[in-house]
Structure formats: structure tokens, C-alpha cells
Amino acid sequence: MTDLIHIANTHLSAAINPLGAELTHLRDASGAELMTDADPAFWPRHAPILFPVIGMTGGGTIRVDGTDYPMPKHGFARDRGFAVVEQGDDHVTFALADDAGTRAHYPFAFRLEIAFRLDAATLAIEARLVNPADVPLLAQFGFHPAFAWPLPYGAARADHRIVFDRDEPACLAEITADGLIAAETRDSPLRDGRTLALADALFEHDALVWDPVASGSVAYGADGGPHLRIAFPETPRLGIWTKPGAAFICVEPWHGLADPVGFAGEYRDKPGVFAVAPGETKTIGMSVTLVA
């Protein structure tokens, strides 16, 4: 088992696995766990990094300049070892660079840094995608943190909700049984355009996907108790997901999307793919704040 990297301040502590640069624990000052229990009966991960694709691709491949490359669901970064490149008591930065293994799936030079920093009751996570080549770097990127449901503050699971900071569209993307984006949409389950009352039945057919999402943050918890504010200012889409009966809820800021049904084009034309110019860096961040 890979040794976890620990950071802490007087408000929060976190532990990150260098395998995938995956946030594994986030605890309050009393030691109460705010992340998933990762029960393997439901889902054994905690907060995988999604790169260079979000979700499924048609046929399990991407096509770059006419050549098909095998691509696993959510990409390969979550299963790669990251190097620790900078560390202090309350912060740590991990890095992954292309090699022969990544180029078998994704023919681009890149450096992906994932930085974690505690500032009072906030954990900030920043992804920095660097293009060291002389051609554009094409990519998708997403966060996939799974938070404890219920949170460890005494409220019943059924009393938890997610509240968006802005009114959201009336329709959501629909995910097929193959994990692709359907041509049809589904009705939004939000009350008053902003409030999602959490219930297992919402996730019987996979994730809820806002494409696009109007909000830049959501609040997660139960009325009257401590809650989490999850901010995602640079990501234009949001997924919310669990497996019915599991003790977690995922709030997933995405800069990308699974393939639409029938898509067989070039990776550059896949919905949500962005380009990083030669020598440039694209930064995508999210943060989690414990609000007492």
C-alpha cells in the first residue's frame, strides 16, 4: 500500500495518496471524517483525478489525427503514481508527466500538477496542466470527490441536501446504460431551481449531470448543522453521483463530458475538450470549506 501524505492545520487535516494524487481523508479539528468510507461493496475510491477524459468514450478509444488510442473510463491519471514535488505542513504538490505508458493511450506531452493547500477551514485543490511541446495540448479534466453521506454531525441521511448558488436549467444531460450522453435530456429534480433533496432514487440511472452548470459553488449538508461549501469557479459542468445505499455523495466539477451517443470523430471535436497552447499552463481549481 502506498504511504499517504498528510497535511494539517488547526481546522482541518487531509491525507492524499500519491497513487492518482487522490484525496483520501478530510477530517475536521475533532478528527471526524468528511470523506467517503470507500466501502468496496459500493465504490472503493475516494476522489480520483479525471484526466485526460471525463466518463466513457465510444468504443473505449480516442482518435487523434486518424489513429485510435485505447482510453479507460475517466482516463489514466487516477491509476498512475504521482511524484511529490513540494511539501509543507499545510500543503503538498504532486506531479505526473507523460511517458511511454501514457503515450500508448494519449499521444501528447504534458505535465499535470495537483496542489493541495489548507487555509483555515478550506482545502483548496488546484490542477495545473502544462504544455511543454510545440503543438497544442488537448485535454479534458475533472474532480471526483466523494463526501460522507451523512456528514458526521448527527443529522439523518435523508435530511441532507445540496443547494446551488444560482438558479439552474430545467433539463439535465441523460446518461445511457453504456455511460454515454444521450440525445434526450432529463428533467431537473431541483426544488425552486436550486435545491436538491438527496435520495437514492435520484441515482438509479447513474449521475445527475448539469451541462452547463450556472453555479460556481454548492452547499452540502443538513439544515442547522455544519455543512460543506464546494466551489468550482473554472469548470462549466457538474456531476452529482452515488450508488444507491452507499455512504457517500460525489460532487464532481468537470471540464469535459463523456462522448455523445454515436460520436466517432477526432478527440479535438469531443464535447468539452480544451486546448493548452505550446508553453502555456491551464489552471483548474476547486475548494471545500467546512462551515460551522
- Residues contacting residue 219 through CB under 8 Å, at least 6 positions apart: 162, 163, 165, 227, 228, 229, 230, 291
Q: Do 271 and 260 form a contact (C-beta atoms < 8 A)?
A: yes
Give the three cell numbers for residue 259. 462522448
- Contact between 45 and 146 (Cβ < 8 Å): yes
Q: Band the pLDDT of 2: cuts 50, 70, 90.
A: confident
Residue 156 scores a pLDDT above 80: yes
Dist. CA 186–CA 174, nearest whole Å: 6
Give me the pLDDT at residue 102, please. 98
Grade residue 96 by pLDDT with cuts at 50, 70 and 90: very high
What value does the mean pLDDT take over residues 136-148? Answer: 98
Mean predicted confidence (pLDDT) in 176-202: 96
Q: Which domains does the chain have, with CATH numbers?
A: 5-291 (2.70.98.10)
Residue % of the chain over a pLDDT of 70: 100
**Helices and strands, counts by H and E, the chain:** 1, 24
Mean pLDDT of the chain: 97
Task: List phi, psi (to 5°) of 102.
Answer: -70, -35
* Tens digits of residue pLDDT in 237-263: 999 999 999 999 999 999 999 999 999
Dihedral over Cα of 40, 286, 276, 237: its sign: positive
Question: What is the pLDDT confidence band of residue 1, given thresholds at 50, 70 and 90?
Answer: low
